[in-house]
Structure 1
């Protein structure tokens, strides 16, 4: 599946952004309803079993990235994105009527399968549109604001809907956007190649040669590849661990459910500003320095958040933690595009995203372990701060300059291929 850099128009970009927002809404939905389910002893749920449910949903997203990427090769990215949104929305709606924890877990897995195809396809469309304009970092981070806007909306709705309509209302609210989004996508979203726009072909990832994959582990590329894997693993561990368990951690610290949701809202509001400024800093001052600085900032403010502080300062620290945590992960993806040479870039990004998904799965598990052990507050935040330090260290050991680039082709339109590479997923 190949996208050229033909401008898809602001409407198409907004549709892609909206599909990313569904990802943020879905993850925060679990963080919002878990305290209610645990407090009410619904289905006999415990912190450990809730962690398993969150993990199963992330496994579904991994499967979805592989399956939907393969289907998109045949039907086109536009139809694949429509199918992803529709699939996710149907199973999210059914989650509201789940009569047991087992069926709820199955539905979360199936919703994850649909959601797994949304972000990689949306990111690819926008990345292709901005390729060659010198703004690839800001394009990636701006698109990712959709994730946190969705998270903020979910946290706000949770404060008002759950007391009146119960936890089930969150999944109904998460499914309703499809009633508008799917028809708009069917009407306005199209494949760039279908418009006759020429593109510079790249190797289809399903046919990637062994030589291309092995190139990730040769010479200086080996250091870059391992460092990117560590950085994206740490970044996604922070994002998914905090977004899944922050309300419950704060409730364990003695705050009410309402205050806990306010903390979650503050975290994601900070993330939106971090995305917008992080990409611009990277475009102007260098993506390497910005990525290192953003991971380091995340570590500092996560550690500060564990200290006994007055409430206004506590909210400020959480806002700044969100500012650095989320965009450090987006900057890691932008960094890969600057380091890998042209013939390894697509394969390198695919493998980086695939390994990073393991961090997304481990994040909720780590939070659940800390809660089960009774040390989530304040020690859990020190653990998360160490994760941020490891992310910064990984970004630091990546080579500062891209190895050999082929300047003659750098200014040409870039075709982006979404077919899964081996075991890697986006």
Structure 2
């Protein structure tokens, strides 16, 4: 098949698709952060009497759904198409979050969090793959960076909703707000979201031998890099999910009231947004890998310093820096993965990295509970979360920036060239 030149642009989808992906990931991020933001009100809630251990278990169990969703939807996206999986995942987690708000028992609450996790896990690799394939090649990192601020903005909304509603109205209305995409974003995406043209070109290329997308992750000298990326993702998500789940409680242990404790989660999200945008711009010049390394290093330092009981202003700055080093680092890692794998297995690569990484996410809440529950010392909690960030940075430093193949072009450049002209 003859490939058009790299100067080809992706037309009107280059604007519409990233906006829809950003809005979907904002909703995804709201659902992702809402559990940690509402956790102080859930623990001891009448008549459920949730303990810290039970809360950590539910947080981890919900992330099992995210793991399954990432592995399944990532691979299905490369087989069945980006649009179809995008709509299915958005519908699933929004509907499940709505049901969460009206859960009559703790068991139903836990089950709906598991169901929401399936949709959350499936949406992220699908949205990243689609946004990467509709972006102009020279702006791909910047577009992905902007799209990947969606989860952090969702975290800001979840924290804000909790600050406004939690003390007076409890957790239910906070979860009910997570269902808004069902009546707003979903109809727009259903009517306007196009299928990825990169996916269409790959599927139309009958000359390529048919292989399992998962098997291809280990082909062409990529085995070591693929496994390494998975371990890095585990460290990243253990840090991120552990901190976002337990940061409000850590701040309560440090003596802050519930409202102020949730405010720190808001600051964490704001740091992730600002850091991601800055890092994405730098990634276009230096590549995403150096920014992943920087993020891990800053997270490790900032989290360790949280335990030194600095003045409040310095503490807020450290939490913001930790936000970049947590969610911001994961965003840059997603950028690296999207650039590392070719289009035919991009969503699979993302889905499996995010899915395996969810092992760290699943462990994060329970891991944190071991140090935070019972009013543990802040220094112990902060060092506990700094450790996996440090390990993740060391592992990332050993990985290549690109697949070690004989191709003279990177997967990103090659796939960008395969885009047909858009009328």
Tell me, yes or no, if the aligned pair for 2:296 and 2:389 is still in contact at 8 Å: yes
Cα 1:368–1:311, aligned 2, differ >3 Å: closer, same or farther?
Answer: same
* Segment of structure 1 superposing worse, 393-402 or 66-75: 66-75
- Please give the alpha-carbon distance, in whole angstroms, between the structure 2 residues aligned to 1:222 and 1:128: 24
Structure 2, gaps ≥5 residues long: 1-7, 419-423
TM-score normalised over the length of structure 1? 0.85
Pairing partner for 2:162 from 153, 158, 164: 158
TM-score normalised over the length of structure 2? 0.86
Residues 73-84 of structure 1: matches in 2 within 5 Å? Answer: 76-84=81-89
Structure 1, gaps ≥5 residues long: 417-426
Q: Is 1:6 matched with 2:10? A: yes
* Segment of structure 1 superposing worse, 256-265 or 286-295: 286-295
Q: C-alpha root-mean-square deviation of aligned residues, in Å?
A: 3.1
- Please give the alpha-carbon distance, in whole angstroms, between the structure 1 residues aligned to 2:211 and 2:176: 37
Cα 1:255–1:6, aligned 2, differ >3 Å: closer, same or farther?
Answer: same
How far does the alpha carbon of each residue in 1:333-359 deviate from its partner, in whole angstroms, 9 at most, with x for none?
333455568898666544433321211
Q: Is 1:207 matched with 2:212? A: yes
Q: How many residues align?
A: 408
C-alpha displacement at 1:314, in angstroms? 0.9
Per the alignment, residue 40 of structure 1 pairs with 45
- Please give the alpha-carbon distance, in whole angstroms, between the structure 2 residues aligned to 1:103 and 1:330: 32
SS in 1 for 2:310: coil
SS in 2 for 1:95: helix
Per the alignment, residue 52 of structure 1 pairs with 57
Tell me, yes or no, if the aligned pair for 2:264 and 2:319 is still in contact at 8 Å: yes
- Please give the alpha-carbon distance, in whole angstroms, between the structure 1 residues aligned to 2:124 and 2:39: 24
Per the alignment, residue 100 of structure 2 pairs with 95
C-alpha displacement at 1:199, in angstroms? 7.4
Q: Is 1:177 matched with 2:178? A: no
- Please give the alpha-carbon distance, in whole angstroms, between the structure 2 residues aligned to 1:81 and 1:68: 9
How far does the alpha carbon of each residue in 1:227-265 deviate from its partner, in whole angstroms, 9 at most, with x for none?
322221111111111111111121122211001111000
C-alpha displacement at 1:145, in angstroms? 0.1
How far does the alpha carbon of each residue in 1:336-386 deviate from its partner, in whole angstroms, 9 at most, with x for none?
455568898666544433321211111112112222365352211111111
- Please give the alpha-carbon distance, in whole angstroms, between the structure 2 residues aligned to 1:116 and 1:309: 36
Cα 1:60–1:122, aligned 2, differ >3 Å: closer, same or farther?
Answer: same
Tell me, yes or no, if the aligned pair for 1:26 and 1:174 is still in contact at 8 Å: yes
Tell me, yes or no, if the aligned pair for 2:296 and 2:326 is still in contact at 8 Å: yes
Per the alignment, residue 422 of structure 1 pairs with none
Tell me, yes or no, if the aligned pair for 1:224 and 1:397 is still in contact at 8 Å: no
- Please give the alpha-carbon distance, in whole angstroms, between the structure 2 residues aligned to 1:340 and 1:50: 37
* Segment of structure 1 superposing worse, 285-294 or 168-177: 285-294
Residues 11-410 of structure 1: matches in 2 within 5 Å? Answer: 11-68=16-73, 76-130=81-135, 133-193=137-197, 201=205, 207-208=212-213, 210=215, 212-215=216-219, 221-336=222-337, 348-372=349-373, 374-375=375-376, 377-399=378-400, 402-407=403-408
C-alpha displacement at 1:95, in angstroms? 0.9
Cα 1:348–1:61, aligned 2, differ >3 Å: closer, same or farther?
Answer: closer
